Amino acid sequence: MNETLKTIYERRAVRKFKDKAVTKEIIEQLLDAGRMAPSAINRQPWKFYIVTKKEDIKLFSKEIGTAALKSIPQMGIKNIVKAAASSITHLSHGIDFLKAPDPVFHGAPVVIFITAEKDNEWAGLDIGMCTQNIMLAAKSLGLDSCPVGFGKFIMQAKSYSKLNIPAKEQVLLAVIIGYRDESPEVHERKRDNVIYI
C-alpha cells in the first residue's frame, strides 16, 4: 500500500491524548494542508480559531457539553435519530458525560474551531474536506485527531465571546489534534452501498 493509502486507512477518531504539546510549526503545517482542500467556486470559506491553553479548552469543553445536552429536547426525535451515532453514544452517557473533566475535547492539546460565513450554502462540505486534509496530514506526521461536530455548540456557550468570532461567521466543526494515548479499533465499514448503473 502506498503512503497516502496507508495514512487514509490508519486514521482513526482518537479521544485520548498524551499530555504533550503540539508545536506551532506543526499546527501551521496542518492548517496549510487544510487550505489545499477543494472548495466550491474556490471560495476557500474556512477560518481557523486555534485554542491551545489547557484551561480554555476545559472551559469550552464543559460549556459545550452543557449546551449540547440542553439542546436535546429541542432537537425532536427525528433529528436525534439522524444525529451522528457516536454523538448519540456520548449523549446517552448523560450525566457521566458531563462529569468528565473534558467531555468534548478529551484532553487534546489543540482544538481548532473552523468557521465560515453564514450565507455560504456549500461551506459545510468545504469544511469537511478541509478538516479531512488536516486530519490526514496530522496522521502522516505522527499525530492523531477527531472531528468534533459538538464544537458548533460553542456558539451557545457563555464563553463564546472569548473566541472573538465575527457575527457573520458560524462555527461548523471543531477538530482536536494531539499525540494519541489510545489505539481505537477500526469500525467496520458498510459495503452494501454501491450501485453501478
Note the residues at the interface with ligand FMN (CB under 6 A).
12-13, 15, 84, 86-87, 90, 146-150, 184, 187
* Residue of 115, 103, 102 whose CA lies nearest to 54: 102
**What 3-state class would DSSP assign to 50?**
strand
Name the minimum Å distance from CB 185 to ligand FMN: 9
What single DSSP character describes residue 13? B
Helix (H) or strand (E) holding 58: helix 54-82
How far, in whole angstroms, is CA 68 from its chain's centroid? 15
Single-letter amino acid code for the residue at 125:
L
Q: How many CB atoms lie within 10 A of CB 42?
A: 8
Name the minimum Å distance from CB 87 to ligand FMN: 5
* Residue number, 102 or 169, with CB nearest to ligand FMN: 102
How far, in whole angstroms, is CA 103 from its chain's centroid? 13
Name the minimum Å distance from CB 149 to ligand FMN: 3
Query: C-alpha grid cell for residue 43?
Result: 471560495
* Residue number, 23 or 193, with CB nearest to ligand FMN: 193
Name the minimum Å distance from CB 19 to ligand FMN: 19
Name the minimum Å distance from CB 31 to ligand FMN: 19
Strands 47-51 and 110-117 come out as antiparallel
* Residue number, 131 or 169, with CB nearest to ligand FMN: 131
Name the minimum Å distance from CB 25 to ligand FMN: 26
* Residue number, 95 or 197, with CB nearest to ligand FMN: 95
What single DSSP character describes residue 18? -
* Residue number, 147 or 197, with CB nearest to ligand FMN: 147
* Residue number, 5 or 167, with CB nearest to ligand FMN: 5
The rounded distance, in Å, linking the Cα atoms of 45 and 193 is 31
